[in-house]
A and B are shown apart, each in its own frame.
Chain A
Amino acid sequence: MSTVTDYVSRIEGTCGAESDVIVNFKYEKKDEVIANILKKAHLKNTLAGIIFELTFEDRSFRLYTSGKAIFRGFKTKTELMDFLTKLLL
């Protein structure tokens, strides 16, 4: 059975009051991840065809075709991992 770690290589907090979290996807899985996310999440907007503004379960985030997504507003890592489980698997 797949887990989030099969698709995610690194999760990094950022410095800044926004508390953004950068999720880097595994290079070899990034196309699969992006396709999955685009199927599951609601597409609000596309910037230049390479950046996607999406919503999933009332949360907005941006997805980048180079293989990362930036999320915000998660209070704990568990909350983020639960969200990623629903989004990616």
Chain B
Amino acid sequence: MDPQAIRQDFPILNRKINGNPLIYFDNAATSQKPRQVIDTLTDYYTNHNGNIHRAIHTLSSEATELFEKARERIGKFINTTSPSEVIFTRGTTEAINLVAYSLGCGNIGSGDEVLISLMEHHSNIIPWEIIAQCKGFTIKYANINKDGTLNYDDFESKITKKTKICCLSHVSNVTGVINDIKRVTKAAHDNNALMLVDGAQSVPHMKVNVRDLDIDFLAFSGHKMLGPTGIGVLYGKKEILQKMPPFQGGGEMIKNVSFDKDQCNISWNELPWKFEAGTPDIAGVIGLGAAVDYLENLGMNNVFNHEKELTQYAVEHLKKCNNITLYGPNDLSQRCGIIPFSINGFSSHDTAAMFNEYGIALRSGYHCAQPLHQIFKLSSTARASFYVYNTKTEIDRFIEILGELIP
């Protein structure tokens, strides 16, 4: 994989920020978009825009074809059994909300338990807490170790016969820790619990095979994997999705609505449309399809290895710097391309602001994972995160600036 060649596909990387070439290290928040995705969006709106599934005319037909072909390609990307297991949402957050609300309305109630880890993004905590308050089920939280890795013994010991679903991020958005999903999925299934995986930080960066992992749900976002904002995916096993009630009501998700005297009779549409109420983000789906094509072309193993190499390079050099503390496991085989750190005497926000003066984009704060920061007793962290277009030269510049600011 040649990052210099890849960079030619990303027009935004030609930008200067405060007079300096942009170095974009905020990929865990959102990724930049290649020309292929931008052109696909432009082509859709220029030549094919129409509402899907609802008309005979040519534009509607073309839009539907592009939309459903994208679903097929996205399904293949994560190795679903059928495209009908791919449900489009606004993002990871909405995908998890869909599962929490649907299962909460239909299958989980008082006396039941949901197991979540303490390393989760708020998106994988708050929906469950909201539904638990309505339905009266219990949420248990699994601990993490001092280095940010999951405490597997604690996780597994908290799965009981009452556990209906276990929820875990594949990769932590704060530390980059990669969780052993196969292991916890087996533990969940041994107790007849379902397994939901937050793939927001894994699907963009590594090969994720839902059938190999045997997970029941996978949620991920398009904008973190070179696609547009406002589009995401919920994968669910067909036989489970079929039993779940809809999440939102409206057009597209119903087969029939009729009145018999004062009685409204409704039958739901087939999968995946049962869970896609209203006009979806058609352009977003087609754009995400183009992003998947781009990543497939690079090869997900190449993407993973490139980021691994960058992480190793950055960590080795950062360890030699003064007044900087790195967080996360020392064993880099357990980590993706995310590096949380702090600089003595500077808040994470000052750190991000300082680097911005040099055109380097970092993220600062809790990264929507406040419980994890509480465990580490950290007020906040700065975070550098890498993707396909980042280079060792950019890391060298980052280290050089760090040396200038904090000698």
Contacts and interface: CB of A to CB of B under 8 A. Distances in A.
A binds B: yes
Contacts of B356: 64, 66
Contacts of B350: 20, 62, 70
Contact of B357 (A16, A17, A22, A66): A66
26 contacts: A14-B349, A14-B364, A14-B365, A15-B365, A15-B366, A15-B368, A16-B347, A16-B379, A16-B380, A17-B373, A18-B348, A18-B349, A18-B380, A20-B350, A22-B349, A47-B354, A48-B404, A48-B405, A51-B353, A51-B354, A62-B350, A64-B356, A65-B357, A66-B356, A68-B353, A70-B349
Interface string A15-34: 11110101000000000000
B151 interface: no
B145 interface: no
B18 interface: yes
A72 B347 contact: yes
Interface of A: 14-18, 20, 22, 47-48, 50-51, 62, 64-66, 68, 70, 72
A66 B354 CA distance: 10
Interface string B325-350: 00000000000000000000001111
Contacts of A64: 353-354, 356-357
B30 to A, nearest CB: 16
Given A22-B349, A48-B404, A72-B347, A17 B354 contact: no
A20 B357 contact: no
A20 B404 contact: no
A65 B293 CA distance: 41
A48 B365 CA distance: 24
Interface string B348-384: 1110011011000000111010100100000110000
Contacts of B347: 16, 18, 20, 70, 72
